[in-house]
Amino acid sequence: MSEDEAASDLASRFRRLIQRHGPMPVSRYMGESNALYYDSRDPLGQAGDFTTAPEISQMFGEMIGLWFADIWTRSAKPDAAYVELGPGRGTLARDALRAMSSQGLRPPVHLVEGSQALREAQGSSLGEAQFHDSIATLPEDQPLYLVANEFLDALPIRQLVMTTRGWRERLVALDGEDFVFGAGPNPMDDAVPEELRAQAVGTVIETCPGAAATIEEIARRIDVQGGAALFIDYGYLESRPGETLQAVRAHEKVGVFDAPGEMDLTALVDFGILAQIAARAGLAVDTATQGDWLTAMGLGLRMQALAQRSPERAAELKTAHDRLIGVDAMGALFKVMAITPRHTARGAGFG
Q: Point out which residues bind ligand SAH (CB under 6 A).
A: 34, 38, 44, 52, 54-55, 86-88, 92, 112-115, 118, 149-151, 154-155
Q: Are strands 227-236 and 334-341 parallel, antiparallel or unpaired?
A: antiparallel
Least spacing, CB of residue 151 vs ligand SAH, in Å: 5
Q: How far is the CB of 135 from ligand SAH (least distance, A)?
A: 9
**Nearest-CB residue for ligand SAH:** 86
β-partners of residue 82 are: 109, 145
Number of residues written out for the chain: 351
d(CA 264, CA 63): 27
Q: How far is the CB of 50 from ligand SAH (least distance, A)?
A: 8
- Could you tell me if 62 and 299 are in contact, meaning their C-beta atoms sit under 8 angstroms apart? no
Burial zone of 195 (CB within 10 Å; 0-12 exposed, 13-18 middle, 19+ buried): exposed
Q: Output phi, psi for 232, to 5 deg.
A: -125, 130
Q: What is d(CA 103, CA 82) in angstroms, rounded to the nearest whole number?
A: 14
Least distance from ligand SAH to the Cβ atom of residue 262, Å: 15
Q: Which is nearer to ligand SAH, 54 or 143 (CB)?
A: 54
- Residue 90 vs 182, nearer CB to ligand SAH: 90
Residue closer to ligand SAH (CB basis): 155 or 317: 155
Closest to ligand SAH by CB, 119 vs 318, is 119
User: CA 223, CA 144: separation in Å to the nearest integer?
Assistant: 10
Residue number with CB closer to ligand SAH (88 or 226): 88
How is residue 157 annotated by DSSP? P
Cβ proximity to ligand SAH, 86 vs 226, nearer residue? 86
- Residue 82 Cβ, how far from ligand SAH at the closest point, in Å? 14
Q: How far is the CB of 300 from ligand SAH (least distance, A)?
A: 22
> Among residues 150 and 169, whose Cβ is nearest to ligand SAH?
150
* CB 95, min distance to ligand SAH, A: 11
Of 12, 28, 7, 35, which Cα lies nearest the Cα of 174? 12
- Pinpoint the alpha helices (H) of the chain: 3-21, 26-39, 53-56, 58-75, 91-101, 116-126, 209-225, 271-280, 290-296, 299-309, 314-325
CA distance 248 to 266: 8
